[in-house]
Structure 1
Amino acid sequence: MKKNIFAVCDLEVEYAFNFMDYLNQKRNLPFEIQVFTTAESLVAYGKENHIELLLISDKAMQREVRELGIGKIIILSEGVHPPELDQYSSVYKYQSSSDVIREVMACYGEEKSLNPVDFPAMKKNMDIIGVFSPLGRCLKTSFALALGQILAKERAVLYLNLEEYSGFEELFGKKFSANLSDLFYYVRQGNENLVHRMNGMIQSVNNLDFVPPVRTPSDIQTVCWEDWERLLQAITLQSSYEVLILDIGGGADENFQLLELCNRIYMPVLNDTMSACKITQFENLLRIWNKEKILEKTEKLHLPFHADNISPESYVEQLVWSQLGDYIRKLLRKERT
C-alpha cells in the first residue's frame, strides 16, 4: 500500500533540498516525502494528491494551500510569522534537521489519531535483537550501540536501552525533553497513537534512532509485561523499523519474557572465574524455569578491549570504526554466509 504524503514547501531552494536529503535517510518515517520550492507547484500537486502532513514556510503560505484539505499543516517559522498563522502549530526553521523533524512528529502525534488504513504496517516481520549479559563492565551497551549504527547504514533500526542507569544524557552532552518514561505514560493511558508519539521523542546518531532511556531506575523496574507487550506490538506493526535492538539491563522484571521475544541474543562474556560462575548460574536458572529456548538463540561473545579514554561527545560515533566495530562487521559477515 502507498504511504501517506509528507510535503515540505520552502521558498529557500537549498534549505528545502537539504531537508529532503535528511528526510530520505530517515527510513522510519511512514511517509512518502515530496518537496516543493513554490506554493504554486505545491497547490498543483495537492489538487491531484491528498497531503497528510505539510511543513511549509510562513512566506509560502497562501489561501490556496489552506483550501487543499491537508490533514495537518505545520508552519516552518523563522521566529516571527503573521498573526493569521497562529492557528497552526509551528517549528523554528533554523535548528538542526533532527530537531525540526522531532518537533514536527510531536505536533503531528498530539492531534492525529492513528488510522490503521492510513498507516499500514510497512513489513510483516521485525528482526528483534537482544543484547544481554548477567555481567557488568562487559561492553554490552558499547556493543549494542556499535551494532545499531552499523546495521542502520542499510536498514531502519530502532535502539531501546532498558537499563536503570544508562548515562545517556551525560554521554551525549544534552538534556532530553522526553524519554522512555514518557512513552510508557502514553502506553498506560491506552493512547492509540504510540508510534507517532514515539516519533516525536526519537533521537539519532549515525542514522541509528533511539528513544532516550529512563532517568529514574524505578521507571524501568515498574513496567509490567502488558505495557512491554503493547509497546513492542505497536513498534512491530505500526512503525517502519526493520530492526529493533533491545539493550536489556538487570532492572526490568520481565527480562526473560523480553529475551523470549528476540530472534537472536548476543551475550558479551568475560573470561575470569567469577564471571564464568555468574554465567553458569544464569544458564542453570533458565533450565530450571524451562527457558532453554533462550539459550538456543544466544551467542556468547568475547569482545575486544575498547579504549574508553575518548570524550563522551565522540565516543558513540567512534565505536563504529574501533576494534569493536571491526569485530561486529566480521560477526555479521559470518552470519550472512
Structure 2
Amino acid sequence: MHEGNLVICDQEQQYARNLLQMFARNREAGIQMYLFHTVEEVERFAEQKPVHTLLIDKEYPPELREQIPAAERYVLITSRQDPLAENEEGVYRYQSAEAIWLQMRHEPAEAQDGRTSESEKPCTGERRKKQQNSGTDERGNSLTKANTDERRQAQHDPKTDPDPDELPEPKPDGRKQKASAGFSTGTKGELIGVYSPVHRIGKTRFALELGREMAKKEPVLYLNLEEYAGGSYYFPDQTGQTLADLLYYSRQEKGNLGLRISTMAGQDGALDYILPMPYVQDMQGISGEEWLGLFGQILENCIYQKVILDLGDSVDGLFQILEACHTVYTPYIEDGAARAKLNQYAENLRKTGREQVLERTIQKKLKQR
C-alpha cells in the first residue's frame, strides 16, 4: 500500500464503515482514508486528488473499476473466480479487517504454524490467467468445473462465512450516517450564508430547502449557527453528536476531520447536516476566528462543495463570516418593519466597510405565513 490517499468504495455501507473504522486504528502517518459508495463519487474525487490505493467492491463491473486511476488496485471478492483485471489484486471480503490490511500492506497473514497461509496469498488477474492456462490453481488443484463448483460452494457456505453485519458496530449515534462525507476535494468549496435581520419568516426552512436542492447536484453540508435553532423540530432524532462535538474534534484532529464528520453527519435526503448546538452559552463562547477555522478545515478535508451556514445574530464575528461567504442569501417579507430592518442592516455593512457582502447578497422574498 502506498502512502497517500486510500479510497474505499463499497455498496455495503455498514460493512464499509466498520472496515474503515478498523483500518483507522492501524492508520500510519501519511495515509489518508476516504469512503464512497458509488464509482461516480470516486471519479469526482480522482479529478481533484490522486488515488494511491483503491479498495473496491467486486459488484462494480470491471469496466467501471478501470475508469478510476489508481496506483494500486484491490478488489473485495467472495470467490477466486470473480473476474479481475490484470492490474487488480483480489482481497477476500469475509476475513478479518486485520488480514485485509496486512495483505494491502504486502504483509501476508501467517497460519498457525508461522508459515504464510496459502488462502491469504493475493489473487491477481495476471496470476489467474496463468493458472487458467495451466489448468491448476495456486495449490496445484485442478480447475475442472466439478472442483471449481465444489470450492465455490464451500466458499459460500452460510454456516462458515461471517455475516458483514456481525462485524463490530461503531459507536451508534442513532442517526443514519453518510460515510462518504469523509474525503477531501483538494480544492476549496464555497461557504453559502443564509442570514436575515428579519426574524420568524421561515429562514431555516428556506436554508434547508436550498441545501436539499443544491445537494441534488453536489455534496452539501448544512450547519445551523442560530442561538435557538429549534433542532428538535427540524431534526427530530436528537441522539447524535452536535456542532459542539465537531468543534472539539476540529481542535484535536486537524488532519482527519473528514473521517470524523463521516461518522457524525446525519442526512436529510441527499443533504448532510450536523445537529446544532443545544446550549446558547456554548454558541456565544466560540469566537469568529474559531468558526472560520472550522469552516476552512471542512472545506479542505471533506467532500463538500457547498457548506450552508444558517446564521443567527448571536454568533460571534457575524460580519466576518458573511465576508467569507461566496454568496449570502437574505430572506425577507414585504412588510414596512421588515424593510426598515433590511435598510439598517445594509447601512451597518456599509459603515463597517463591508459593502462586498451586499454585492454578493441575493435577497429572497418569502411568503408571509
Scaled by the length of structure 2, the TM-score of the pair is 0.60
1:23 matches 2:23: no
Note closer, same or farther for the CA distance 1:78–1:235 as it changes in structure 2 (3 Å cut): closer
Higher relative contact order (CA 8 A, sep 6+): 1
Secondary structure class of the residue paired with 1:244: strand
Distance 1:42 1:235 in 2: 42
Q: Which residue of 1 aligns with 2:116?
A: none
Give CA deviations for 1:115-137 in whole Å, capped at 9, x if unaligned.
Answer: xxxx7x52434132111001111
Distance in 1 (alpha carbons) for counterparts of 2:232 and 2:41: 25
Number of aligned positions between the proteins: 262
Counterpart in the other structure of 2:223:
160
Matched, 1:292 2:314: no
Deviation at 1:248, TM superposition (A): 0.8
Q: Does residue 126 of the first structure (1) align with residue 161 of the second (2)? A: no
Letter in 2 for 1:259: L
In structure 2, relative to structure 1, the CA distance for the partners of 1:220 and 1:291 (3 Å cut) is: same
| Secondary structure, counterpart of 1:290 in structure 2 | coil
Residues in 1 aligned to 2:319 and 2:336: alpha-carbon distance in whole angstroms: 25
Alignment match, 2:6: 4
Alpha-carbon distance in 1 for matches of 2:224, 2:215:
16
1:264 aligned residue: 327
Looking at structure 2, the residues matched to 236 and 247 of structure 1 have their Cα atoms a distance apart, in angstroms, of: 16
**Residue 198 of structure 2, aligned match among 131, 135, 139:** 135
Q: What CA deviation, in whole Å up to 9, does each residue of 1:280-316 have, x standing for no partner? A: 221121122111111111122212356xxxxxxxxxx
C-alpha contact 2:58 2:82 (8 A) present in aligned 1 = no
Gap change, CA 1:194 and 1:166, over 3 Å in 2: same
Q: Identify the range of structure 1 (207-216 vs 30-39) with the bigger mean alpha-carbon deviation.
A: 30-39
Q: Following the alignment from structure 2 to structure 1, what is the Cα–Cα distance between the partners of residues 317 and 40?
A: 31
CA contact 1:24–1:33 (8 Å) conserved in 2: no
Quick check: 251-260 or 226-235, which moved more?
Answer: 226-235
- Contact persistence 2:207–2:308 (CA under 8 A): yes
Shift of 1:48: 6.0
Residues 197 and 62 of structure 1: is their aligned pair in 2 closer, same or farther, counting only changes over 3 Å?
closer
Tell me the CA shift for residue 62 of structure 1: 8.6
Q: Which residue of 1 aligns with 2:307?
A: 244
Match of 2:102 among 39, 59, 67: 67
Q: Which residue is 1:151 aligned to?
A: 214
Matched with 2:57 is: 35
**For the residues of structure 2 that align with 1:131 and 1:163, how far apart are their CA atoms?**
11
User: What's the counterpart of residue 183 of structure 1?
Assistant: 246
Encode CA deviations 1:1-27: one digit per residue, 9 max, x unaligned. x963215497xxxxxxxxxxx922995
8 Å contact 2:330–2:363 — kept in the other structure?
yes
Displacement of 1:165: 1.5
Mark the CA change 1:145 to 1:44 in structure 2 (over 3 Å): closer, same or farther: same
Structure 2 residues not aligned, in runs of 5+: 13-35, 46-50, 60-76, 107-161
1:85 maps to which residue? none
Amino acid at match of 2:219: A
Output the CA distance in 2 between the equivalents of 1:25 and 1:153. Answer: 17
The structure where helix makes up a greater share of residues is: 1
> Which whole-Å deviations, capped at 9, do the CAs of 1:73-110 have from their partners, x for residues lacking one?
xx97545x6xxxxxxx54499x98x44x55x98xxx8x
Instruction: Pick closer, same or farther for the CA change 1:167–1:226 going to 2, 3 Å.
Output: same
Q: CA deviation at 1:160?
A: 1.1
Q: What's the counterpart of residue 17 of structure 1?
A: none
Q: In the aligned structure 1, how far is the partner of 2:355 from the partner of 2:201?
A: 23
User: How much has 1:193 moved relative to structure 2?
Assistant: 2.1
Distance in 1 (CA, whole Å) between partners of 2:39 and 2:206 is 23
Q: C-alpha distance in 1, partners of 2:281/2:85?
A: 48
Structure 1: gaps (5+ residues): 11-21, 82-88, 110-118, 307-337
* Counterpart pick for 2:264 among 201, 215, 218: 201
Does residue 226 of structure 1 match 2:289?
yes
Going from structure 1 to structure 2, the CA distance change for 1:41 and 1:285 (only over 3 Å counts) comes to farther
Larger radius of gyration: 2
Q: 1:197 to 1:189 in 2, by over 3 A?
A: same
Counterpart residue type for residue 219 of structure 1: D
Q: Which amino acid aligns with 2:279?
A: T
Structure 1 residue 39 displacement after superposition: 3.7
- The one-letter amino acid paired with 1:4 is L
